[in-house]
Structure 1
Amino acid sequence: MTTRRERLRKLVEVQEQLKALHETRRASLLAEAAAADEEAKMLAERFDADDSLAVLFPDIYHNRIAGALARRDARLAAARLEAGLLATATARTNMVERAYQTERRADERQRGDRERLDLIEQKLGKPQSDP
C-alpha cells in the first residue's frame, strides 16, 4: 500500500507535467500568432509593391490579409486562455508541492523519533555490567 507521501510525490510529478503542457501550448500559440502577423505584414507589403498583382486581384489580397489577421487574433485569444490554465496549474502545483514537503518533513520527524526511541529502549533494555 502506498503512503500519502508517495501519492503526493506522484501527484507533484503529474502537476508539473500538466504545467509544462500548458507552457508548451501557450508558446506554440504565441509562435503561430507571430507567424500569422508576419504573413499579414508580408502580404500588405506585397500589396503595395509596384510589380504586385494586387491591381488585378485586390480581393484575394484583402481576403488573405484578413484571414492572417483573424488567425493571429484567434491564436492570441487561445494563448490568453492557456495563460489562465497555466496560472491555475502553477497554483495547484505549488499547493501539492507544499503538501508533499509537509508530509515529507513529518515522515522524517517520525522516523527520527522512532530511531531515538529504539536507541533509548536498547540502552534501557541492556543489563548493566557491575565492575
Structure 2
Amino acid sequence: MKTKMLFLSLCLAALWSCKGSKDLQSFIPGTYIDYARGEYSESSDTLIIGEFNEIKDSYPIIRKTGFRRIGDGKPGRLEHAAEKWLGIWDGESGSIQVPKNSKIISFYPDSGVLLLGTREYRKIAGGN
C-alpha cells in the first residue's frame, strides 16, 4: 500500500510540474519593451517572441532597437537596428537560451516581466 501511495504521489508531482511549465510557456509569446534614458543617450528595445516550435524546442525572437545620442542636451539622429534570434527552450530552468549571443531570457509572469541579462522588459501584448 505504501508503494502505491508513493507512486501516486510521484505521478501527481510530475503532472503538477508539467502544468507549471505549460502555464509559463503560454505566457511567453508576445511583445516586450524596455526604455532607458541617461545623460548621453536614450534607447528603446522591443523583443517579439513568437509561438513555441515543438519540433525544434525553440522560440523565434525578433529584437528591434532604437538608439539616440544626446549631445549638448539635444537629441541626435535616431538609429535603428533589428536582429533575428532563435531561442532554445530550457524546461528545467524555465528560460530561453540564445546561443547566437550567449544570452539567457528569464520570465516572471506574475509581474509581466522578462529579464534579458539584467535588462528588464515589460510585456505589452500577446499570450496570456
Normalised TM-score (structure 1): 0.31
Which is helix-richer, 1 or 2? 1
Structure whose CA Rg is larger: 1
Which is strand-richer, 1 or 2? 2
Q: Per chain length, whose mean CA-contact separation is higher, i.e. which structure has more relative contact order (CA < 8 Å, sep 6+)?
A: 1
